[in-house]
Structure 1
Amino acid sequence: MEHSRADGHRTDSMSRGRSAGVPADQATVRRSNLALVLRHVSTYGPCSRSAVAVATGLNKTTVTSLVSELQARGLVKETGPQHAGSVGRPSVALVLDGSRVGALGVEVNVDYIAAIASDLAGRVLIDRRIGFDAMGSGPERSLDELVRVIEKTIADLDRLGIALAGITVAIPGLIDTTTGTVVVAPNLGWHGVAVAERLSQADIRGDIPVTVNNDANLAALAEYTSGVAAGTSDLVYLTGEVGVGGGVIAGGRLLGGADGFAGEVGHVMVDPSGERCRCGRTGCWETKVGLAALVRMATPDRAYGTGPQVVRDPEERLAEIEQRRAEGDPRVDAAAEEVGRWLGTGAAMLVNLFNPRVIVLGGYFARLADRIIPAARQELSRLGMSEAVERCRFAASDLGFGAASRGAAGVVVERALSDPTTIAIRTAPAIGVIEGTPMARLPHSP
């Protein structure tokens, strides 16, 4: 039997319960059906049990049992009667809960560490960022500081009564996601740094899963799910940081590449006679459009690497640049337009390669979009294939510098939606299944 999943994909009895040629056990089938019901409620709630049964193809008794278990895990709740305009007793509506289950996304970047914790419905519970010189501190000190931020955030969640379902770490570099190792992060100066292993050795509860991924990929996921271009199946996200990374959504899926290294657009050469990049090459795109390039042009007296080495959050640097712009300093607009031209040069390659509908500009690009986008659009029109360019637009992100950590938290949420059994049962389910056998109503735990 074939069923329609809430996320738009199709699933049959084999894909829901087994891999090819391998019989599915009852626990696997139930786990798959729990995810099927949870996704439907998440996408279409409030909805009744009967509506879930019709949409998923599961019988009503099974749905009732599954909903009971999801309630026991704190993932679904009832919101009261649902009136559909028909005669008869109104049905009880179900919605996604997850208010007591947390997801934590953290990011280490050149000059800050950020953390965003949300519940499983995506409501932000904690949002913090601290200025930190990760570029000058080395991996050991940076990871020590990251652990402190994580421990503080977990303590805050504990005080709120939130059980943490997982942690995802965003790093600007090439990541081996299977081991949680940073292969290379040029702007941080990291090579072969085992981030997940280091966190496993810290004073963080061992039952909390930790994953590591590229910052631009995670930001692209955040944009796809909740940003200005949410739901756009083909988009490119560009970070506006000291380094420039790209996340590519193609056909509604994140493009990872053979080794998960896709999207390192900042190190595409655009100027053979340009400046030397931190990666060791010459004329990389990020040497033209990264935040360091903007700061060097707009406020040369405060450029990276000059004067006292004071840690400055990128928001502080932007505030100073915007203040000088308000005071009429012509270098600011000139710098933004120069960045825009080079941004359009690189964007033309991306449009020709990936044919996106939207190029989402994050970080500082979004803050100076009124100057950057017109210049970028003009250069894109000059260099890109006209048919693809005409159907592609630039959009300024509204997620700020928190896009990567928000996307990182979203990965934890997605994992819980895909496998609800990773979330512990908080109360005994009224109706459940043990090894495939319906069990009687149980008293609630005290």
Structure 2
Amino acid sequence: MTLTDGRRPGDRAVAADHVSLRRNNLSVVLRHVRESGPKSRARIAADTGLNKATVSSLVAELVERGLLREGSADSTRALGRPGQLVELDGTGVCGVGAEVNVDYLAVTALDLAGATVLERRVPVDVAHLDPGTTLDRLADLIREAVAAVEARSGQLAGVTLAVPGLVRDDTGGLSLAPNLGWGELEVAAEMRSRLGEPSYALLIDNEANLAALAAYSELRKDGRVQDLVLLTGAVGVGGGVVSNGHLLRGGRGYSGEVGHMPVAPDGRICGCGRTGCWETVVGLSALLHKATDSDDPVRDPSLDVEQRLAAITQRAEDGDARTLNALKDVGAWLGIGGAILVNILNPDVLVLGGYFAALGPWLKEPLEQAIRDRVIAPNGGGCRVVRSELGFAAAVRGGAQIALDQVFVDPTMIGRAESGVAQ
């Protein structure tokens, strides 16, 4: 029996299987080069188990799509003609991360190789704006990033929004962001509407989760880190957990809300409405409350957060007693909560992000001391404390990386050079 278009029954299924298999193999090769660095075709074949002819064809297609490029000759080959190395390209493929936080909005565009195309952060007193106005301003920043990608004739893999709250991973909606005063807001849908229902993927995630992924991406380069906890501090405090190389999200995607661990039952009221949450004693607001008067310029949310922290740093370096006492107190509380997390999760690394990283010279030592004193496992369970070098760009970089990860899963989403259309 033959169908009217000349094919036999089952041909559609066979064709679909072939397309899926090739898409998977393209992903295998592209991810292998990302993880292992420049490789010859022969080495890729040996490492992945694919035959040499298949690898040559896959590499050729990935080069056409602008995801790989020809590199130098393989100097490690002892006999015969040296093979040509192929390496990650992707300078024409970009992802965008955008963040809304209590006192700033930010956006970053990265290319597939991790180079920064655009990076912007603007101080905004988000907590005193309505959500619509804030999302309008964030949409403007995203358009700026998209324009920067288009200006270099790049293809956009997607945009990821980072928010400091509980994100429903099934819908892209926000359940609660207490420090923003937001609740039950369909952020992804609102942003799609503002951006004119774009064709690129628009994702949403918790900002601490994205910061943790960015930190893991940096730390895994030494090959030893598989488990980490990132603490990111601003007005609120969030945590991201990577376990065995994978982000730990929990049953509904709500994990990582470490700032709301109850540690001070007789303490201050938190933005979530409860009393004595961890962020009430270690958040930036807690530090400023202890270290400054109400009319001090460093409390002004219209001033960029890094400028405010630079002022605190200068006072600490000058030996200001009030500042040093405030840092000592915050460091002690940071150690109490940090030791709880290390006892529960036993990470290889506890990463200080956000303002904790900026003031790390005063906060890191009491945290390390608490881990030595309070963690039951010998030597603090082997946990190291490190300061993130990503600063307040961690969440947006993680967001851009999430957008780019789609390309490594399905390289065919990026068009071939001759057509510009994914096939």
**Contact 1:227–1:399 at 8 Å: present in 2 too?**
no
Matches of 1:59 and 1:227 in 2, distance apart? 33
State the SS of the aligned residue for 1:165. Answer: strand
Distance 1:89 1:113, change over 3 A: same
- 1:241 corresponding residue in structure 2: 234
For residues 152-209 of structure 1, the C-alpha deviation after alignment (integer angstroms, 9 at most, x for no partner) is: 1111221122221100111010001221111100101111111111121123562110
State the SS of the aligned residue for 1:260. Answer: coil
- 2:38 corresponding residue in structure 1: 46
For residues 227-275 of structure 1, the C-alpha deviation after alignment (integer angstroms, 9 at most, x for no partner) is: 4986511110000211000001111111100001010000110011000
Compute the RMSD of aligned alpha carbons: 2.2
Task: Give 1:380 deviation, angstroms.
Answer: 3.2
**Contact 1:115–1:149 at 8 Å: present in 2 too?**
yes
**Contact 1:236–1:360 at 8 Å: present in 2 too?**
yes
- 2:338 corresponding residue in structure 1: 347
Matches of 1:328 and 1:375 in 2, distance apart? 18
Matches of 2:63 and 2:301 in 1, distance apart? 50
State the SS of the aligned residue for 1:300. Answer: coil
**Contact 2:100–2:163 at 8 Å: present in 1 too?**
yes
Matches of 2:119 and 2:238 in 1, distance apart? 23
Gapped regions of structure 1 (runs ≥ 5)? 1-21, 435-446
- 2:178 corresponding residue in structure 1: 186
State the SS of the aligned residue for 2:80. Answer: coil
Matches of 2:375 and 2:115 in 1, distance apart? 39
Distance 1:378 1:88, change over 3 A: closer
Task: Give 1:350 deviation, angstroms.
Answer: 0.5
**Contact 1:295–1:302 at 8 Å: present in 2 too?**
no
**Contact 1:296–1:302 at 8 Å: present in 2 too?**
no
Amino acid across the alignment from 2:50: L
Query: Quick one: which of 255, 261, 264 aligns to 1:268?
Result: 261
- 1:137 corresponding residue in structure 2: 129
**Contact 1:296–1:304 at 8 Å: present in 2 too?**
no
Query: Quick one: which of 145, 149, 160 aligns to 1:157?
Result: 149
1:332 paired with 2:346, answer no
Distance 1:400 1:242, change over 3 A: same
Amino acid across the alignment from 1:415: Q
Amino acid across the alignment from 1:146: L
Query: Which moved further from structure 2: 260-269 or 408-417?
Result: 408-417
Trace 1:17-56 onto structure 2 (pairs within 5 A): 25-56=17-48
- 2:198 corresponding residue in structure 1: 206
1:374 paired with 2:365, answer yes
Matches of 2:375 and 2:76 in 1, distance apart? 51
Gapped regions of structure 2 (runs ≥ 5)? 1-13
Matches of 1:268 and 1:303 in 2, distance apart? 29
State the SS of the aligned residue for 1:277. Answer: coil
Task: Give 1:328 deviation, angstroms.
Answer: 3.1
Query: Quick one: which of 134, 140, 147 aligns to 1:148?
Result: 140
Matches of 2:137 and 2:222 in 1, distance apart? 33
Q: How many residues align?
A: 407
Amino acid across the alignment from 1:347: G
Query: Quick one: which of 272, 284, 296 aligns to 1:291?
Result: 284
Matches of 2:298 and 2:53 in 1, distance apart? 66
Task: Give 1:89 deviation, angstroms.
Answer: 1.8
Query: Which moved further from structure 2: 254-263 or 359-368?
Result: 359-368
- 1:411 corresponding residue in structure 2: 402
For residues 111-142 of structure 1, the C-alpha deviation after alignment (integer angstroms, 9 at most, x for no partner) is: 00111111001111111100111111121111
Amino acid across the alignment from 1:139: P
Query: Quick one: which of 43, 47, 52 aligns to 1:60?
Result: 52
- 2:3 corresponding residue in structure 1: none
- 2:6 corresponding residue in structure 1: none
Structure 1 stretches of at least 4 aligned residues deviating more than 6 Å after TM superposition: 303-306
Structure 2 length-normalised TM: 0.91
Distance 1:252 1:268, change over 3 A: same
Query: Quick one: which of 307, 320, 325 aligns to 1:316?
Result: 307
State the SS of the aligned residue for 2:79. Answer: coil
**Contact 2:149–2:156 at 8 Å: present in 1 too?**
yes
1:250 paired with 2:248, answer no
> Taking every aligned residue pair, what percent have the same amino acid on both sides?
45
- 2:74 corresponding residue in structure 1: 82
Distance 1:342 1:303, change over 3 A: farther
